[in-house]
Structure 1
Amino acid sequence: MIGEIKAKIIKPARVVTPQCCAPVEPPTKATMWRRDRYLKLRPSFNPDACQRESTVEIDGKPYCRLHAGGLALDKWLKGELVEKGQS
């Protein structure tokens, strides 16, 4: 008799999100190289912005976790964020 020992793992479908909108300053001598390379790799993405997909939205703009963390910390230090009470 043949029986199943371990259940099959089914991966969830990939969720496509918009590009992170954080502007990225390219290296001084490699501006055109960076633009050409990222236009070939991801033609639908803006080559002058971060090349990661967004995971959070802050003030209506999509950000990756790296840039969202820095932005959230800046807002917290300026007093623009308030702790949410537990309900």
Structure 2
Amino acid sequence: MTIRPLKQPVIRPEPVATPQCSMIVYTVGHDAAWRAKWYGERRPGTDPKRCQHDSHVTIDGKPYCRRHAGGLALDRWLKGELVERAAP
């Protein structure tokens, strides 16, 4: 009897630690004390006033998560602050 794997094992890369998103968020239905208590217990060392996602993009030197970076980029595009340029 022989045993052989049908698929190769999935090797996941090591996660990269990134800073917390810089966007200040206001939670509808919860006050600042609730956020401080809730996120203070679950994610110590982070600012409870800011978005709790890890950053993926920097805009003007500040780190943002994908959700907030996309919103900022769209706002700037609609205001005409971003221009298209050809790829090199």
Normalising by structure 1, we get a TM-score of 0.87
Contact 2:32 2:49 in 1 (8 A): no
Identical-residue share of aligned pairs (%): 51
1:54-75 CA-to-partner distances (Å, cap 9, x unmatched) read 1111111100111111100111
Determine if the alignment matches structure 1 residue 57 to structure 2 residue 58: yes
For the residue of structure 2 that corresponds to 1:83, the secondary structure is coil
Measured in 1, the distance between the counterparts of 2:48 and 2:5 equals 48
Aligned-residue Cα RMSD (Å) equals 1.6
Q: Which residue of 1 aligns with 2:80?
A: 79
Task: Give unpaired runs (5+ residues) of structure 1.
Answer: none
Shift of 1:3: 3.7
- 1:1-87 paired onto structure 2 within 5 Å: 1-27=2-28, 30-87=31-88
For the residue of structure 1 that corresponds to 2:63, the secondary structure is strand
For the residue of structure 2 that corresponds to 1:23, the secondary structure is coil
How many residues matched? 87
Contact 2:25 2:49 in 1 (8 A): yes
Shift of 1:16: 1.1
For the residue of structure 1 that corresponds to 2:44, the secondary structure is coil
Task: Give unpaired runs (5+ residues) of structure 2.
Answer: none
Normalising by structure 2, we get a TM-score of 0.86
- When residues 15 and 38 of structure 1 are mapped into structure 2, their CA distance, relative to the original with a 3 A threshold, is same
1:23-81 CA-to-partner distances (Å, cap 9, x unmatched) read 01133653211111101111111000001111111111100111111100111111111
